[in-house]
Structure 1
Amino acid sequence: MGSSGSYTPGPTQPTPIDTGTAMMSAERIVFRGTKATREWRFDKLVGFEHSYDSAWTALQVSNRQRTSGIGYGAVAADDFRMRLDLALAVWRGDREGYVAALKAQFHS
């Protein structure tokens, strides 16, 4: 007896592998955990995606094959996302544009 067809995997879910502290600057994010340290440099950043159904951000960098990310809990979600957006704006040299966009949101 045989079978045929194709398998389409569903969306992947993050698997927490460590706990620790994330630090963000205008050049990178560094996670220092109990098992390892991981760095995501903005000059290597290919893309990122915030997950709104669970509090984490996936970060793709060119010097790593697999996507990894940071989970931060629902209470810290808005703060982490805003800080990442601001850090990337500063890295790109567009801090003023980011601040202007925030002001426009509050005045709408």
Structure 2
Amino acid sequence: MGFIANWKAKRAYKGAMEVYDAELTDWQSDIEIFQKARDAFLLAAKGEDVVVNQTIQKAGEIVLWTAQGQFHEAGRGAGSFQGSSQGLSIPVVAGIRYRVGATRGTYVSGDPIQKYAEVGDVLLTTQRVLFNGMFNTKEWAFSKWNGAAASADETDYIFHVSNRQKTSGVLFGARDGREFNRFLSCALIAAEYGIDRVIQEIDKNMKELEEDKPAIPPLTMQAPKELE
């Protein structure tokens, strides 16, 4: 094998292995999460909380999952005053002047954004998502659920509920965000169809995951002798 061909082979092999390793890591993570979710809902089916908590629960409510997250809520960025000004500059002491006068124009409010606040405990139950912090306490009840949105990396969530005009949500770390995503989907199924349906869906997903296990790059992509 010539130098250029060998270099290309090395590059292709390393690239293929990096993709494989990343896909395998995600696959293993989902297997672990769905198994954890299955165990959690089996406990819930017995009427038992999955995690120890101090939450005052509603009738029939079961706590399924908890982690740390950062609360955020819809707001606006800093505004600005757009216009012109006029006035006088008065000397105060040597080298220092104080300006007085008037400003004419229009105040323009800032762009709508999600304002990030404190970090606290996030709890997922069979009936709602809860945030408990030192300064903020929020709940997003499934009975008033209009939908949700998640960032591409599954760390940031915005919840839409009918009893509040402002959207709000929670930011997680990478591992907790991925786990929350899977648990939330299961909790919503449980709220709509019951816990037995959740177990069925988890078993179905785990079977599909086993069948879709990432494959090691084919023999044609094996490393050149120099990399073995």
Confirm or deny a common fold (TM above 0.5).
Answer: yes
Higher RCO (C-alpha under 8 Å, 6+ residues apart): 2
Alignment partner of 1:70 is 2:170: yes
What one-letter code is carried by the residue in structure 2 that aligns with 1:79?
A: E
What one-letter code is carried by the residue in structure 2 that aligns with 1:26?
A: T
Greater helix share, 1 or 2? 2
What one-letter code is carried by the residue in structure 1 that aligns with 2:163?
A: N
TM-score for the superposition, normalised by structure 2: 0.39
Question: Secondary structure of the equivalent of 1:14?
Answer: strand
Gaps of 5+ in 2: 1-110, 213-228
Alignment partner of 1:79 is 2:179: yes
The CA distance in 2 between the partners of 1:49 and 1:62, in whole Å, is 15
* Among candidates 198, 202, 205, match of residue 102 of structure 1: 205
**Paired residues, number:** 98
Q: 1:22 to 1:38 in 2, by over 3 A?
A: same
> What is the match of residue 24 of structure 1?
124
Greater strand share, 1 or 2? 2
Regions of 4+ moved over 4 Å? none
Gaps of 5+ in 1: 1-9
* Among candidates 144, 148, 151, match of residue 51 of structure 1: 151
The CA distance in 2 between the partners of 1:75 and 1:82, in whole Å, is 11
The CA distance in 2 between the partners of 1:39 and 1:70, in whole Å, is 11
Q: 1:13 to 1:101 in 2, by over 3 A?
A: farther
* Among candidates 118, 127, 133, match of residue 33 of structure 1: 133
The CA distance in 1 between the partners of 2:172 and 2:198, in whole Å, is 24
Question: Secondary structure of the equivalent of 2:206?
Answer: helix
The CA distance in 2 between the partners of 1:53 and 1:99, in whole Å, is 22
What one-letter code is carried by the residue in structure 2 that aligns with 1:95?
A: V
Worse overlay, 79-88 or 53-62: 53-62
Q: 1:53 to 1:15 in 2, by over 3 A?
A: farther
Residues 16-52 of structure 1 show CA distances to partners (whole Å, capped at 9, x for unaligned) of 1121001111100110012111000001000001112
The CA distance in 2 between the partners of 1:75 and 1:49, in whole Å, is 18
Identity %: 27
TM-score for the superposition, normalised by structure 1: 0.78
Question: Secondary structure of the equivalent of 2:169?
Answer: strand
Query: Which of structures 1 and 2 has the bigger CA Rg?
Result: 2
Q: 1:72 to 1:36 in 2, by over 3 A?
A: same
